[in-house]
Structure 1
């Protein structure tokens, strides 16, 4: 009985964490595309996001990194990957400021595709926050799937905690969860 209850709780939390991941969206080929990489709380998390940005990089895209604390680190890592055309927004301290300052310092974003790169557990909240500043149909979600095998995996309790915390913040700041 206890094992079946534990299994039920485990499966429920895994499914809830996976359901909270936001992915998808269509890129309008007629518009400029900005790959917007949000910095993470530490280098470990940020590296997954940077790997996704490297995968998305092409000659038609413009990479913008956001975040005050990690911007120098992010730029150096992208330079190591031979990506030198990097725009930096280094004033923001949170997701709301990432969106606000992106619009302020890069006004062309109002007319561009925004490919939003964040972590699995943060992607939906980032999308909901950015949709306060930009049209929902111009935001394309590309979470860093490399985290599936990390400490933040939705298959581990630490991943559930990250997802639940982001759901709470999403409800608190954006008044939505899904």
Structure 2
């Protein structure tokens, strides 16, 4: 039984009960506070560990970004080189086709001259049109898909001028003009 404010054996009972209750409540509050602080310290350690891990991952991702940027630049350069190589190949193919057509015409003209010269002994005659089987139609360039590009020519070689039989004839003409002066 509790007696508030009543003296019992010289002690005020109600006041002592209240003091005891306050002490017990303070002990429980202190225990809750200690548990809360320990939980917060544990969470702080976990967050610090996560922060360290994320910092490491960020450094790795930054390095990967730099590596990928470098690789992207290399691939762009390679793509540009491949485009230039395919253009060079296309130009070489066109030049070779022109050279073949020129040689076919020269061959037909020479054959006609030899045939006319041997049959009637008259001067040179030109064949107006080559036979259809020797004519090659011009085809538009095929843009896609492209075959793998050939290796670049060694530096020092210039493929911009004429070469082959026609180039030889032109060089002979130039040599003849320079000797004749």
TM-score range, shorter chain: under 0.3
Please give the TM-score of this superposition, normalised by the length of structure 1: 0.26
Query: Which of 1 and 2 has higher RCO (CA within 8 Å, sep 6+)?
Result: 1
The structure with more radius of gyration: 2
* Structure (1 or 2) with the greater strand fraction: 1
Please give the TM-score of this superposition, normalised by the length of structure 2: 0.25
* Structure (1 or 2) with the greater helix fraction: 2
